Chain A
Amino acid sequence: MKKIEINPMTRLEGHGKITIFLDEQGNVDNAFMQVVEFMGYEKFLIGMPIEEVPRTVSTICGV
């Protein structure tokens, strides 16, 4: 099975890639979009004073 990778997906913030699988005839058998990054704000924000959170989570995406 032939595999085509489009990496990275562009004109967006955050990293993603697209993987396309082709069958024997060259037709698309299946395609996947993956978000390849993981941040972890859910955990590391715990304990932060609430008034500091808005200016911190604004860096989840700055676009």
Chain B
Amino acid sequence: MSKPKLAYYLAGGCGGCDIAVVDLSETLIDVALAVDIVFWAPTVADAKYKDLEAMPDGSIDVGLISGNVRNSEHEHIAHVLRNKCKVLIAFGICATNGGIKGLVNLHTTEELLDKAYINTFSTDNPNKDLPQTSMVLDGKYELTLPSLMYARPLDQVVKVDYYIGGCPPHYEHVKKAFTALLSGQLPPPGSWITMGKAVCEVCGRNPVLQGKPKKFATTVKRTIDGAPTEDGCLLEEGYLCLGPVTQGDCGSKCPAANVPCRGCGGPIPGVKDYSLRAISAIASMLDNEELIEQIPDPVHLFYRYTLPSSFPYKRLKS
């Protein structure tokens, strides 16, 4: 039997998900021996887009895409990979929900370009030049760039078979996902590949797991306001932790390091709009309504990883 063919494409991401795969270390050798990697660009293999485009449709068994879809090149390659791959996986929170880079949707392209290329203290751009999708330099050199788009999760562009959360996915979770893939033990198409538990359910700070009652937060704190107790619930102490609604395939690594969860794991099963559920969860754990006023910068907290997939945003765009 021939080995399953694997393709990996980094769209509008940071390469952190690629590194999460490389972090499999010795296990990566087993994975590499078990599959035939036909495309992994731009990070790991020396493959070009035209090589991918030349492959027959349906000839790749599994395709992984990390990063969101942010420009015309990402969109094009997402469509190409969908045609070439039997199974397509949104890998990491940018591909599943938009990710941190999806926060660009808070602004117009003009505002973003103006801040980055013109209106910044350290920028020297007297002619106010901005990137152009096509230009002719010196009257003879024709150059092109992809056109910018609002950030979209992969499933707003092509059909996605499976979702894997995380920013990036923890390598132990990647290992489990690859094992499931290679053994064919996958959930129904359209599912998240997850153990299905929330961060709280695997958190050493969860009072319920220690047989203690859960208390409301009577204050709202920022992490610069001091260090939390060694083993108490961050939320009870007022640090706004999104563990209750976030997939815990990370093993609750951030709360273990005194850092409240920010939701990179993606929504726990049954949640359609992560951000709304997170707002609801936090609101239900505060002692009184006045505390809501004290939440610093709610947009960057509740929508940090999921803005392009959120319900109000999708309605706004349609």
Chain A nearest CB, measured from B74 CB (Å): 9
Q: Does B101 contact A (CB under 8 A)?
A: yes
**Given A15-B73, A30-B141, A62-B15: A10 touches B47 (CB 8 Å cut-off):** yes
Q: Are A63 and B222 in contact (CB under 8 A)?
A: no
* Known A9-B42, A10-B47; 8 more pairs at CB < 8 Å: A7-B48, A15-B10, A42-B112, A42-B115, A43-B112, A62-B13, A62-B14, A62-B18
Q: Are A44 and B103 in contact (CB under 8 A)?
A: yes
**Given A11-B44, A44-B106, A49-B222: A63 touches B300 (CB 8 Å cut-off):** no
Q: Are A38 and B131 in contact (CB under 8 A)?
A: yes
In the complex, the chain B residue whose C-beta lies closest to that of A32 is B143
Query: What is the interface residue range for chain A against chain B?
Result: 35 or more
A residues with a Cβ closer than 8 A to B are 1, 3, 6-16, 19, 21, 30, 32, 34, 36-40, 42-44, 47-52, 55-56, 58-63
Per-residue CB contact flags for chain B residues 216-246 toward chain A (1 = under 8 Å, else 0) read: 0000001110000000000000000000000
Query: Contacts of A42 on B, CB cut-off 8 Å?
Result: 112, 115-116, 120
Q: Are B42 and A8 in contact (CB under 8 A)?
A: yes
Q: Does B34 contact A (CB under 8 A)?
A: no
Q: State the majority secondary structure of interface residues on B.
A: mixed
Report Cα–Cα, A5/B73, bound state, in Å.
14
Q: Does B82 contact A (CB under 8 A)?
A: no
Q: Are B15 and A44 in contact (CB under 8 A)?
A: no
Can you give 28 contacting A-B residue pairs, CB < 8 Å?
A7-B49, A8-B41, A9-B42, A10-B43, A11-B45, A12-B42, A13-B18, A30-B141, A32-B137, A36-B146, A37-B12, A37-B71, A38-B71, A38-B148, A40-B104, A42-B120, A43-B104, A47-B299, A48-B297, A48-B300, A51-B222, A51-B224, A55-B262, A59-B13, A59-B14, A59-B100, A62-B14, A62-B19
